[in-house]
Every structure is written in structure tokens, then in C-alpha cells.
A and B are shown apart, each in its own frame.
Chain A
Amino acid sequence: MVEIRFHGRGGQGGVTSAELTALAAIEEGKYAQAFPSFGPERRGAPVMAFVRVSDQQIRTREKVYSPNMVVVLDPTLLEIVDVQAGVPDDGILVVNTKMSVDELRKNAGLTRRLAVVDASTIAIETLRVPITNTTMLGALIKATGVISVDALRGPVQKRFGPIAEKNLQACMRAYEETVVEG
């Protein structure tokens, strides 16, 4: 079983990222859970969302404590949230940043494997809004292969309707541009 934690700010689509990941995995015939950090929601405040993906039926309702994968939707969170908390040594962090892997490691003091992409620029140029949820899914797919772009297509169409195609473009561009540490 794989566990993923998304860090975003309220309104950036972290919860949507988690939902789309789970829906894509279910589309592939797998089992999945997606859930927000339960409670009141505030625009701009740091928020988390969680996903489990497994080939077998998932029989736990625990919170996610040690995610194998972490996705950071907003680079400003690195200064105020310990995005590495609970991540095992072989875990991976997928980060929206303008920095390179080396710069990010040095500046943010991160010790796990890293994947980086400038998702904010891609989102602004493709979607005209700084909402990085679908963009960061492209980065997650490139870095981990936990779901496929094909399986994501249906859920994105259903969620975004007329702007689905643009979101898929942003996702694909992020997939191309994400740099994954070896």
C-alpha cells in the first residue's frame, strides 16, 4: 500500500489533488481512499489531504502518519510546515519550486529524495490562475508512477468540464518538466 500526503493552502486545490489521485487509481481497478484533514476549512491556511492506494482492499481508518510520498503545492509552505514529518527514509517529496534539486535540498534542509517542478509558472501560463493541483499531479505521476495520466483523464473531465483540457495540458507539461532525483 502507498500513502500520499498533499500540502497546500486552502483554495489551492490540495484536497482536489488527493481526490483525483484516488479516483484515477479506482478507475485503474485499484483500491483507494482520499480524505482531507477533517475540520473547518480556511482559504490561505496550510491544509493537508491524504491518499491511500493499494492492490488489495484497504482495511484501515487510521490517519496517515508515514506517507511514502509527499506533494507540496505551495513553495511558501516549506518555511512553516515540516513537510518531511513521518516520511520514511526511502520516501519522496514532490515540490512546487523554482529551485533546482540541489538548491532546494540546501535551502530547505530536506533529506529525502526530491522531485522539483515550477508548477506555479506552468499553472499561470496554462490556466491563468495560480492553482497548482492538476499541475502537481503531473509531477507526482512523473516522480512515482502511482497512477497513470490516462486514468486521470476521466476524473479530470468530470471535475473540470470546459476547463478540463487546459488542466490536462498543465498536467502533461509538468510531467515533461519535472526533474526527479536519481
Chain B
Amino acid sequence: MGKRVGMEVSIAAAEVVGLCDVDVIAAYPITPQTHIVEHLSELVADGHLDAEFIPVESEHSAMSTCVGSAAAGARTFTSTSSQGYALMAEICYIASSMRLPIVMAVANRALSAPINIWNDHADMMMARDTGWIQTVAENGQEVVDLILHAFRVAEDHRVLLPVMVNLDGFTLSHMIEPIILPDKEEVDRYLPPYKPKLRLDPQNPMTFGPVGMPEVYTEAKKAQDEAVKESKAVIVEAWQEFEKQFGRSYKPVETYKAEDAETLLLTMGSISETAMTAVDKMRADGQKVGLAHLRLWRPFPAEELVDAVKGAKALAVVDRALSLSGGCGPVCVEVKSTLFDRGLSPYVQNFLAGLGGRDVTVEDFETMVAKVGDGLAKGLPMGYEIVNARE
């Protein structure tokens, strides 16, 4: 049985990567991801983890090394944040297009300029179109569980895609809280040994990542799009297996007091916990408010989203990254597109909140719900608002 411990979330993340028998870790330290990588290098240096730790000179090299090691058939992990992700982005497209099951934890952080080391979702949104599966944690336990889940999904021969596990920088990465760490036997039961479908092998040479002429590029991309879409069934299946074994349930779109809600908050990441407290408070005041929160960002869980929000008259969608001058933030774009395609038209307001480490409070959620109620009643135009910006 796993044991309940008080632990910094980054350390727990590194511990579970160790329990997963990872073969290769190639990473470059960057705030606020640093403790994850530091602890993994300690585990290897102290002989607790039999893996190659490759301290590369940049994130571009980190992902390049991961591509090589995954293609050679090694279970591979890395971690980054923000500018580090920006530097490795070129190779991230290659990792997913070559169908390499790399797992990466991203301690989400804003992008410069101005230079900002604090939390928002700019980096995961930059990764949106790379073809990686993206899951999102709301607390330390979920970071541990989602990393374990990520290896199982990535390496499944029906998937073979890299997985990014997102955890809010500082807000989660630097938090000490109670976490149930699984023991080795439990991890082994859930995560079978990695059996590569294809691998680089001098005895059996083959080409990975050749040129795709105009005659084949479109077909290659269509196949990749289908692979990402089809991965959802395996992601859900792996969560169901996880629940059977560990008793903790995960779904692509989670809900909280949403059944009879007239107004729904829609969030992603650790602010969802604060939003639950806000929902409790508003429910106590007699307001029919609930919460839908995204656990899976890519593949986008459109059907599950519709199921979660179809009864609501109004939605307050929170985004933590900007799509400058676009109609709304990236999460709200998906929400509106999903609803429009199905002829659904609730009142939707988009709130850009928690940028570059700005706190998102219970009061902020109450204000959002009030604004959406007001907008619906008065027929105000839908759009987006950058919350709490000083004029």
C-alpha cells in the first residue's frame, strides 16, 4: 500500500518518475521546474534510481536527447517551464510527429516579456498545436497520479504519443502538502514494462523522421490528427483502470455541483480548487452555480464538455493565457467552437485571470459569476475581459 506523506509536490513528482523505472532523463533546470530535475539527479547520483541522467546544455538539447533515447526504445522523461519550453518547442513537434512516447512535466509559468517567473498557462498554450497529449493537475496528488498515467498512455501501442503533464508553477510545484505515494509493487502492477513498437537498432536499421514530400505530408498529418483524437479512449480507459486499482477517479472534464447549475464556472488547473470553495460559498447563498474543470486539454474532450455544460444558461470561462487580439482566450475558443458546432448557445463570458502569478481568489470567482448573470439579464455583448487590470 502507498503511504501518506507530507512532501513538496516537485519532490513527489520526481519520486514517482523514479518508481516508473525511467531509463533516461535529459533536462535543463529552469524556475519553477528546478526541484523536479534536481531531485531526479540526486536519485540517480545516490544510486536510488538506475537511469541515465543527461545534464544537457539547453532545453533544445534536452528534447533532442529525449527524441533519441525514446527512438532507441528507452523510457524517457523530461521537465521544463516557460522560456525553456519555448526553446525546446521546435523538437516537441518532432517528438510527437515521430510518435515517441516521452513524458514531460511542465511547471507552468508565464512567458517573457516582461520577465516573469510566476504561474500562468502561456507555456502550455504554446504547446497546444504540437500534437502532444496534455493533462492538467489541480493538486499534488494529481501530479503524482497523472505522471504514472502518462507513461501508461504514452507507451500504449494504440497511442504512441508524448504526454505533457501540466502543474501550476510555484502554486503546485513549491507546495508542501499530503500526498499518497504509491509503492513500487503498485506502480509495477499499473504500468507494464515499456515494449517499443519500433526502435532504432543497428541490427535492424530503419529510418525515423524522413522528409515528407507534398505527396505524403498531408496524409502523415491526417494520420497524426486521428492518432491524437483516438488517444482519448485509451486515456479514459487508463483512468478507469487507475480508479479500480487506486480508488481515485479522473475524467476528461470534471464537474462540481454542476447538475442543476444555471451558471457554470469553467476552469483548468489549480485555481479549480479555489473555484470549488467559491461555488460552496455561492451555493450557501442560494445561487445555482457550479463548476466544470478541464482535466484533459489535448485531445480536447468536446463531447464530455457538452455533457458537462449543456444544462447551463451562462458560462464564465477562465483563461490563464492570452491569444492577443483574438476573440477570446484559448480555452474559451475551444468552448465556443464546441458549442457552436452543436447548435448550443448559452451566454459565454471569458475572463483572463491569474496572469504571471496574479492571485485568483474566491472573491474573483464571485465577481465573474455576478458579471455573467448581469450580462445574461441585460443582453450585454459576449467577449473577454482581463480581470483586475489596473487602468
Of A22, A40, A61, the contact of B176 (CB 8 Å cutoff)? A22
Chain A minimum-CB-distance residue to B8: A19
B224 in the interface (beta carbon within 8 A): no
A61-B270, A62-B274 are contacts. A36–B174 as well, Cβ < 8 Å? yes
Chain A minimum-CB-distance residue to B361: A62
Contacts of B178 in A (CB 8 A): 26, 31-32
Of A18, A27, A33, A62, the contact of B177 (CB 8 Å cutoff)? A33
Let me know if B118 and A39 touch, CB within 8 A: yes
Let me know if A32 and B177 touch, CB within 8 A: yes
Chain B minimum-CB-distance residue to A154: B6
Interface of A is mostly: mixed
B276 in the interface (beta carbon within 8 A): yes
Contacts of A23 in B (CB 8 A): 6, 176
Alpha-carbon separation in the docked complex, A40 to B170 (Å):
12
Of A25, A26, A34, A61, the contact of B5 (CB 8 Å cutoff)? A26
Alpha-carbon separation in the docked complex, A113 to B176 (Å):
28
Let me know if A62 and B362 touch, CB within 8 A: yes
Let me know if B170 and A32 touch, CB within 8 A: no
| Number of A positions contacting B (CB below 8 A) | 23
Q: Which parts of A108-122 form the interface with B (CB within 8 Å)? A: none
Q: Using a CB–CB distance below 8 Å, which chain A residues touch chain B?
A: 18-19, 22-23, 25-27, 31-36, 38-40, 58-63, 155
B160 in the interface (beta carbon within 8 A): no
Alpha-carbon separation in the docked complex, A23 to B360 (Å):
26
Let me know if B273 and A61 touch, CB within 8 A: yes
Chain B minimum-CB-distance residue to A23: B6
Let me know if B274 and A61 touch, CB within 8 A: yes
A-B contact pairs, 10 of them (CB 8 A): A22-B6, A27-B6, A32-B178, A34-B177, A38-B32, A58-B177, A61-B168, A61-B171, A61-B270, A62-B361
Chain B minimum-CB-distance residue to A30: B178
Let me know if B177 and A60 touch, CB within 8 A: no
Let me know if A35 and B270 touch, CB within 8 A: no
Let me know if A63 and B359 touch, CB within 8 A: yes
Contacts of A60 in B (CB 8 A): 273-274, 277, 362
Alpha-carbon separation in the docked complex, A61 to B354 (Å):
11
Alpha-carbon separation in the docked complex, A36 to B359 (Å):
14
Of B4, B6, B118, B271, the contact of A61 (CB 8 Å cutoff)? B271
Contacts of B32 in A (CB 8 A): 38
Interface of B is mostly: mixed
Output the least CB separation between B270 and chain A (Å).
Answer: 5
Let me know if B176 and A33 touch, CB within 8 A: yes
Of B175, B270, B277, the contact of A34 (CB 8 Å cutoff)? B175
A62-B359, A62-B361 are contacts. A35–B4 as well, Cβ < 8 Å? no
Let me know if A32 and B6 touch, CB within 8 A: yes
Alpha-carbon separation in the docked complex, A54 to B366 (Å):
23
A62-B361, A155-B6 are contacts. A34–B176 as well, Cβ < 8 Å? yes
Contacts of A59 in B (CB 8 A): 273-274, 276-277
Output the least CB separation between B168 and chain A (Å).
Answer: 8
Chain B minimum-CB-distance residue to A52: B177
Chain B minimum-CB-distance residue to A51: B176
A23-B6, A59-B274, A61-B274 are contacts. A35–B174 as well, Cβ < 8 Å? yes
Alpha-carbon separation in the docked complex, A26 to B8 (Å):
12
Q: What 6 A-B pairs come out closest when comparing CB atoms?
A: A26-B6, A38-B170, A23-B6, A34-B176, A59-B273, A61-B270
Alpha-carbon separation in the docked complex, A27 to B176 (Å):
13
Chain A minimum-CB-distance residue to B177: A33
Let me know if A35 and B176 touch, CB within 8 A: yes
Of B117, B175, B277, the contact of A35 (CB 8 Å cutoff)? B175
Alpha-carbon separation in the docked complex, A19 to B357 (Å):
21
Alpha-carbon separation in the docked complex, A25 to B359 (Å):
25
Most A Cβ at <10 Å: residue of B177, B273, B360? B177
Output the least CB separation between B300 and chain A (Å).
Answer: 24
Contact with A along B334-358 (1 / 0, CB 8 A): 0000000000000000000000010
Q: Which parts of B17-66 form the interface with A (CB within 8 Å)? A: 32
Contacts of B361 in A (CB 8 A): 62
Contacts of A155 in B (CB 8 A): 6
